[in-house]
Chains A and B, each alone.
Chain A
Amino acid sequence: MKARRKFIFWVAIVFAVLLAVPAALGVLLAAGLPVAEQEAFLAIVSERAPALAFAALILLLVSAGAVKWLFDEYVTAVHALAEQTGVVLGANAELRVATQGGREVAEAAAAINRLADAYRALRRDFELRTREAGARLEEERNRLAALMSELSEGVMVCNAEGRILLYNERAKGLFAAGETAAIAALVGLGRSVFALIDRDQIAHALEKLQRLRQPGAAPPSTRFVIATATGRLLKVKAAPFGDSAGAIAGLVLALEDVTGLLDQEAARRGLLQALAAGVRAPTANVRAAAENLAAFPDMEAGRREQFVQIVAAESKSLSQRLDAALREYADALKAQLALESMRAADLLGVVCQRIGASLGMASGLESVDEELWLRVDSFAFVQALTFLAARLRDGYTVQSLRFSARAVNGHAELDMGWAGSAVASDALSLWEDEPMQIGSEQTPLTLRDVLERHGGEVWYQAADAAGGSTARFRFLLPAGEAVMAPARVPVTPAESRPEYYDFDLFRASGATQALQERKLAELAYTAFDTETTGLEPSAGDEIISIGAVRIVNGRLLKTEVFEQLVDPRRALSRESVAIHGIGAEALQGQPVIERVLPSFYRFCEDSVLVAHNAAFDMRFLQLKEAISGVKFTQPVLDTLLLSAAVHPSHADHRLESIAERLGVRVIGRHTALGDALLSGEIFLKLLPLLAERGIATLGEALEASRETYYARLQY
């Protein structure tokens, strides 16, 4: 608009100048003539008026043409040059400015491109140096993150404000297991720990630790037990860490799931109580009767017989009670043995190693169910299998063993097979009762002891006549529960830094500043996108998928995402399926929108929302306010509007086009999460460009968005 006004202004000026010259000449000429000739001149002029007007029109066109040419060659081209240079500088150092317009402009463009080359080279060099310098620090940090993810304990670190600045996957898992996976996402960088652990508990811990802290002494720690939203009991060990000034800068929280332990403990206590209560009364009866018998040897025979009967009957009932209690609480007692959950594949791997090392036999695994877990005393069990292998080698010249394992009706079936010689039918039963001896190593335990301890069995299965299967010892063992393995973060070289911690949050300026005045760079964002059944929310179109990712301290946290399909409770149009590729069967059984929105709300509660063409998505959310009971009132930034604010001369602000312009790789489009990630990355690229234009705070970004033309689009 501005450009057009400028254009008209210049056309007017040139036209005026061009008109003014002949007009002034005419006036000068006419002024020197006598009156009669002046009149004749005027008559000639007015007679030729149409021709003169035509000439003026030609002049107007000529001046418009000249100005247009000048504009195109110099003004517009220079504008474009400036804008492109801004992108090179701010977002995409790979971009080169296009050389259109006048020769001089082309020369300037070429100069800018040379400058851009030099800038890129300089920047690469700079980046290389920075990377090198940062690499070692990064490595240390990664080592810390890797170490953290290997811990079987959950660990969270929070600063004094209660913001989480480090956690591991296990900690996330301990608070997880809600209806939607999104609940787990509440353990997240920059999120408040008070959403997970009661504020009073933490405050009390801090207060206590403050009191316990003494200079020079070992750092104190305090313990408490909390219940999670899903009813799990966690033992929390909190230890403080100080800043350079000696004040408590934050807490390290070690979390341990004690739900199961407490159950076992309760069972053991129950056993003790049952035994105590059940045994007291019969013992009293026996004792009273027996003491009577002893104290009054002169009692009559009938009496004596009665008391002897009482002693017999009561002792019998006592032993029955004892048996019953032990049966009932067998599991609680077993739990006291050194049984641990172990993956069958891992256990058999150890067995193979052991057999190779101490017996020199070849062995290997075949068809071992990777998901199969056992409850075993691994030391004793490895010993038992090695013992059997030794007996097979010595007695039957077996040289090589194969192991397999599978789940069968809640039990684990473990096979130790070999090719060749069958063993005598009574061999196993003899071996079962021998104290196990492997080379010089001997234990008083027998194979039977080990099996009984595990509640397991073993038998011999001969090779079938057709030779289709090998001879084998088959073990039946109770299956164990999978121990949640810490998920490993795939750390690719390109994304050097796993996103489980952010120590920069130490410097978070806190909530004291009004939101509008906060710097864009330091806010937490949730970039999100929805897929829908169509484009008209008010005509009954519904959300079928929500994807979102958190942005904290200028980093896209790809491990803190929300992804949920939604049952729209209506048919899908063929056109929409063609776009998002989500069919009706995929949505069957998914939660409905009024269940999904509250957990999405919790996911993005303390952040600024970011979306591409946000008005569209927000409209869908607004229409569900009543039914879902949540209202998304947080500020919203629109990448479409921000892009338009940064690049007003570009008309195309589709997601792909912006991505291309800013050098963002496009993958996974048209899934809600894929688009959310894309808008998140674009948003991060837009931040420096906004800063260049003096847009640094949230308030300024919102204002700039409002000013953009596209802001007037209404859905």
Chain B
Amino acid sequence: MTKKVLIVDDEVNIVAALEFLLQRSGYEVMVAQNGDEALQRVESFAPDLVLLDVMMPRISGYEVCRRMRERADWKHIKIIMLSAKGREAEVSKGVSLGADLYVTKPFSNNELVGKIGELLAGA
């Protein structure tokens, strides 16, 4: 069965690139532009993995991550946080809030696809 990935980012350019990349890599892709929409899509789309940008207006990626991890039925969903912030403290914050992986921008497309594959294979 095709695995489902939800991309959450408010920047259309990165979303366009990621959406294309993941579709070509064989995933079913859904996009959310902000935190609220992200939580709705998790409910309706039931993704296997969420690519979550940290810096978003209103509800930040950290907050989305925290709320997702409060739901027992969403425990299995993998979360990769994407961030333009690369400080040690921010990475550990993301990980301690329940992200499976913290990737700083810019990243390599190949590596990102590889990581997604690894996470979903282990699931």
- Which A residues have a C-beta under 8 Å from some C-beta of B? 276-277, 280-281, 283-289, 291-292, 295-296, 299, 303, 306-307, 310, 313-314
Asked whether, in the complex, the Cβ of B109 is within 8 Å of the Cβ of A292, the reply is yes
Is B84 within 8 A of A277, CB to CB?
yes
In the complex, B58 has a CB within 8 A of chain A: no
Question: B109 to A288, Cβ gap below 8 A?
Answer: yes
For this complex, 7 residue pairs linking A to B, each with C-beta atoms less than 8 Å apart, are A283-B105, A284-B14, A285-B17, A287-B107, A289-B16, A310-B16, A313-B13
Assess the A288–B17 pair: CB atoms within 8 A.
yes
Query: Chain B interface (Cβ within 8 Å of chain A)?
Result: 11, 13-14, 16-18, 20-21, 24, 55, 82, 84-86, 104-110
Q: Answer whether A276 and B86 are a contact pair too, CB < 8 Å, given A284-B14, A295-B110, A313-B13.
A: yes
**Contact (A284, B21) CB under 8 Å given A289-B13, A291-B109, A291-B110:** no
Bound-state Cα–Cα, A285 to B84, Å? 11
Given A276, A277, A295, A314, which contacts B13 in the complex, CB threshold below 8 Å?
A: A314
A255 to chain B, nearest CB (A): 34
Point out the residues of chain B lying under 8 angstroms from A310, CB to CB.
13, 16-17
Q: Is the CB of A299 within 8 A of B105?
A: no
Cβ B20 vs Cβ A299 within 8 A: yes
Mostly, the A contact residues are helix
Verify B84–A284 contact, CB threshold 8 A: yes
A284 to B53 alpha-carbon distance, docked (Å): 12
B85 touches A287 (CB 8 A): no
Q: Is the CB of B109 within 8 A of A295?
A: yes
Contacts of A307 in B (CB 8 A): 16-17, 20
Query: Which residue of chain B is the closest to A314 with respect to CB atoms?
Result: B13
In the complex, residue of chain B having the shortest beta-carbon distance to the beta carbon of A281: B84
**Among A286, A291, A307, which residue has the most Cβ atoms of chain B within 10 A?**
A291
Q: Is the CB of A281 within 8 A of B109?
A: no
Contacts of A277 in B (CB 8 A): 84-85
- Tell me, rounded to whole Å, the shortest Cβ–Cβ distance linking A485 to chain B: 43
B84 near A280: Cβ-Cβ < 8 Å:
yes
Knowing A280-B84, A280-B104, the reply to whether A292 touches B13 (Cβ < 8 A) is no
Knowing A277-B84, A310-B13, the reply to whether A283 touches B20 (Cβ < 8 A) is no
List, in ascending order, chain B residues with CB within 8 A of A276's CB.
86
Q: Please give me the residue from chain B that is nearest to A283 by CB atom.
A: B106
Asked whether, in the complex, the Cβ of A285 is within 8 Å of the Cβ of B110, the reply is no
Output the residue of B13, B18, B84, B86 with the most chain A CB within 10 A: B13
| B105 engages A284 (CB within 8 Å) | yes
Q: Is the CB of B84 within 8 A of A289?
A: no
A502 CB, min distance to chain B CBs, angstroms: 52
Most buried by B among A287, A288, A306: A288
Give the CA-CA distance A334 to B20 in the complex, in Å. Answer: 45
- Are B20 and A285 closer than 8 Å at their CB atoms? no
Bound form: Cα–Cα A295–B110 in Å:
9
Cα of A306 to Cα of B109 in the assembled complex, Å: 17
Contact of A292 with B105 in the complex, beta carbons under 8 Å: no
Q: Is the CB of B107 within 8 A of A284?
A: yes
> Does B108 contact A285, Cβ atoms closer than 8 Å?
no
B106 touches A287 (CB 8 A): yes
Of A285, A296, A299, A306, the residue contacting B11 (CB under 8 A) is A285
Q: List, in ascending order, chain A residues with CB within 8 A of B104's CB.
A: 280
- 5 nearest A-B pairs in the assembled complex, by CB-CB distance: A284-B105, A288-B17, A280-B84, A284-B106, A291-B109
8 Å CB contact of A291 from B84, B105, B108: B108
The listed residue (A285, A286, A288, A314) touching B21 by CB distance below 8 A is: A288
B11 CB to nearest A CB, Å: 7
A281-B105, A310-B16 given; name 4 further pairs at CB < 8 Å: A280-B86, A284-B14, A288-B21, A306-B16
Distance in angstroms from B106 CB to nearest chain A CB is 4
Give the distance to chain A from B114, nearest Cβ to Cβ, in Å: 13
- Which of A285, A286, A295 lies at the interface centre, i.e. has the most chain B CB atoms within 10 A of its CB? A285
B residues near A299, Cβ cutoff 8 Å: 20
Tell me if B16 and A280 are in contact (CB < 8 A): no
Q: How far is the CB of A622 from chain B (nearest CB, A)?
A: 59
B8 CB to closest chain A CB (Å) equals 15
Scoring B11, B104, B107, B109 by chain A CB atoms within 10 A of each residue's CB, the highest score goes to: B109
Find chain A residues with CB under 8 A from B18 CB.
288
Q: How far apart are B63's CB and chain A's nearest CB, in angstroms?
A: 19
Contacts of B85 in A (CB 8 A): 277, 280
Chain B residue, CB-CB nearest to A313? B13
**Contacting residues, chain B, for A283 (C-beta < 8 A):** 105-106
Closest to B105 in A: A284
- Enumerate chain B residues within 8 angstroms of A286, measured Cβ to Cβ: 106
Q: What residues of A have a CB within 8 angstroms of the CB of B20 in the complex?
A: 292, 296, 299, 303, 307
Residue of A nearest to B55 (CB): A281
Q: For residue A1, give the distance in angstroms from its CB to the closest CB of chain B.
A: 87
CA distance A447 to B93 in the complex (A): 53
- Complex: how many Å from CA A478 to CA B14? 45
Chain B residues with CB under 8 A of A289: 13, 16-17
| Complex alpha-carbon distance, A295 and B17, angstroms | 12
Q: Which residues of B lie under 8 Å from residue A313 when comparing CB positions?
A: 13
Say whether B84 contacts A292, CB under 8 Å: no
- The answer to whether A281 and B17 touch (CB under 8 A), given A295-B110, A296-B24, is no
CB neighbours (8 Å) of B11 from chain A are: 281, 285
Rounded to whole angstroms, the CA-CA distance of A579 and B21 in the bound complex is 94
Indicate if the CB atoms of A287 and B108 lie closer than 8 Å.
Answer: yes
Contacts of A292 in B (CB 8 A): 17, 20-21, 109
Contact (Cβ within 8 A) B13 A280: no
Quote the shortest CB–CB distance from B47 to chain A (angstroms). 20
Which residues of chain A have C-beta atoms less than 8 A from B24's C-beta?
Answer: 296
Contacts of B55 in A (CB 8 A): 281
A314–B105 CA distance with the chains assembled, in angstroms: 14
Q: Which residues of B contact A306 (CB under 8 A)?
A: 16
Residues of A within 8 A of B109 (CB): 287-288, 291-292, 295
Q: How far is the CA of A281 from the CA of B84 in the complex (A)?
A: 5
Report B109 CB to chain A, min CB distance, Å.
4
